[in-house]
């Protein structure tokens, strides 16, 4: 089930965020990962925002920009509230008043004009495809898997490899797929968390209309942010959305995919908040990694539902925290180092970027590296399992 439609009209702040449902138990702030390095106390905001006269003042507190939208507070809340959305609501007041940081303003403007928050022209969205044999979708053409790349993967040279490698894998495995190409527009995940309600609603409308035109069985998102945003904020989407690790796990399970080479490495998998905590996809990425011969898969002490946020979400790509205290991504790579892992595997472009920076900051480049799962798979020879003769006869 996809989320409820946004109903903002005629609702007070208190009604919109169900502030009266709160029992002030503190599970939100108790679970909030950034409390170890910032002053953010989300429970206090839920408590104080009940007083509508205080909203303006609260929106000026810098702490509201420390939230990474990991959603731990929402997942843990015993009353079904989403405390982080109170912070987003306060950010909206700032965005409405036009007093945002220039970086945020640029990201929003770029999304409005070019369909991506990275100040890149729409025309170059397909540049990552260069030299690859990519099938680009046509609306009327029937296809099983319609791929949604994500702005960050499409434009950021560090993570473009995710898309490039999956194209190679799909071609070799004979999967029925197509990519959206320059039609693809930002899903709005970060636009929502930055508080630009209006723009987010516009993206939902336009993307729903655009995606619904395609004759595809399902949408496969490369980024957990797009994946979860579609599933929670796009009520009128007419096809299911899965994450690419779910597709790979399915191909492996159906024996339509196998890896020829092995990899003698110790890998620790980092659960992205948007994939794990928020959407409950814990096992598929692990099963993909376990399918590689020779891989020793180890676990962080804080894994799955207790995974530590990398601080990449919630619009934090455009808002820097002032805290000088160790970043969570740095804590994470130190934990990985203690496990003597060779590779920190991630399945999210933001996690790759933040963890990569943390490896550099800690000076662990010699000992370990951060890799998107597709980056690891790209180094292996892929085999398409031959269908059995019985199946051929049936076909």
Residues lying near other proteins in the complex (CB under 8 A) are found at 23-32, 35-36, 41, 43-44, 72, 75-80, 301-302, 304-306
Query: Three-state DSSP class for 383?
Result: strand
- Report the distance separating Cα 213 and Cα 216, nearest Å: 9
CA dist 181 and 185 (Å) reads: 9
Q: Which is nearer to other proteins, 32 or 150 (CB)?
A: 32
Nearer to other proteins by C-beta: 26 or 262?
A: 26
CB of 231 to other proteins, least distance (A): 18
Retrieve residue 346's tokens.
């991630």
Q: State the distance between the two ends of the chain, measured CA to CA, in whole angstroms.
A: 34
Least spacing, CB of residue 327 vs other proteins, in Å:
17
Between 25 and 132, whose beta carbon lies closer to other proteins?
25
CB-wise, 28 or 249, nearer to other proteins?
28
Sign of dihedral through CA atoms 283, 332, 274, 372? Answer: negative
- The DSSP secondary-structure symbol of 117 reads T
Nearest to 85 by CA among 98, 96, 69, 65: 69
Closer by beta carbon to other proteins, 80 or else 131: 80
The DSSP output letter for 277 is: T
Reported residue count of the chain is 395
- Please state, in angstroms and rounded to a whole number, the distance separating the CA atoms of residues 224 and 187: 11
Residue 200 C-beta: closest distance to other proteins, Å: 26
Nearer to other proteins, 34 or 344 (CB): 34
Q: What tokens does 299 get?
A: 């676990």
Question: In the complex with other proteins, which residue's Cβ is closer, 283 or 357?
Answer: 283
Smallest distance from other proteins to CB 35, Å: 4
**Least distance CB 43 / other proteins (angstroms):** 6
Burial of 332 (0-12, 13-18, 19+ CB in 10 A): buried
DSSP E strands, the chain: 143-148, 177-179, 216-221, 241-243, 258-259, 266-269, 296-298, 343-346, 369-372, 382-383
**Least CB distance from residue 98 to other proteins, whole Å?**
31
Nearer to other proteins, 63 or 375 (CB): 63
Smallest separation (angstroms) from other proteins to the CB of 304? 7
Do residues 295 and 267 touch, judged by C-beta distance below 8 A?
yes
């Amino acid at each position: 089930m996809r989320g409820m439609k946004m109903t903002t009209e005629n609702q007070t702040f208190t009604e919109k965020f169900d502030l009266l449902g709160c029992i002030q138990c503190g599970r939100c702030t108790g679970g909030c990962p950034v409390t170890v390095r910032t002053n953010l106390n989300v429970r206090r905001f839920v408590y104080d925002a009940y007083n509508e006269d205080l909203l303006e003042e609260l929106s000026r507190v810098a702490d509201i920009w420390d939230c990474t939208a990991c959603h731990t507070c929402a997942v843990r809340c015993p009353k079904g509230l989403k405390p982080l959305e109170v912070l987003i609501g306060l950010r909206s007041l700032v965005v409405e008043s036009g007093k945002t940081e220039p970086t945020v303003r640029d990201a929003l403007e770029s999304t409005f004009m070019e369909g991506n928050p990275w100040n890149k022209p729409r025309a170059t969205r397909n540049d990552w495809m260069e030299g690859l044999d990519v099938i680009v979708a046509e609306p009327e053409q029937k296809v099983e898997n319609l791929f949604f790349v994500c702005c960050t993967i499409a434009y950021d040279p560090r993570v473009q490899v995710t898309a490039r490698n999956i194209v190679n894998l799909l071609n070799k495995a004979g999967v029925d797929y197509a990519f959206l190409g320059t039609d693809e527009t930002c899903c709005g995940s970060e636009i929502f968390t930055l508080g630009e309600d209006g723009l987010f609603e516009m993206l939902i409308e336009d993307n729903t209309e655009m995606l619904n035109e395609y004759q595809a069985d399902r949408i496969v998102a490369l980024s957990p942010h797009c994946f979860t945003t579609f599933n929670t904020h796009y009520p009128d989407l007419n096809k299911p959305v899965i994450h690419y690790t779910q597709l790979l796990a399915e191909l492996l399970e159906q024996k339509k995919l196998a890896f020829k080479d092995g990899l003698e490495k110790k890998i620790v998998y980092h659960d992205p908040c948007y994939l794990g905590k928020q959407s409950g996809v814990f096992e598929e990425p692990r099963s993909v990694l376990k399918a590689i011969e020779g891989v020793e898969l180890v676990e962080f002490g804080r894994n799955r539902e207790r995974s530590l946020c990398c601080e990449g979400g919630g619009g934090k790509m455009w808002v820097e925290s002032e805290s000088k205290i160790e970043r969570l991504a740095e804590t994470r790579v130190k934990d990985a180092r203690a496990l003597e892992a060779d590779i920190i595997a991630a399945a999210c472009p933001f996690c790759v970027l933040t963890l990569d920076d943390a490896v550099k900051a800690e000076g662990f480049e010699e000992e370990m590296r951060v890799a998107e799962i597709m980056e690891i798979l790209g180094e292996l020879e892929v085999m398409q399992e031959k269908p059995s003769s019985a199946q051929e006869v049936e076909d």
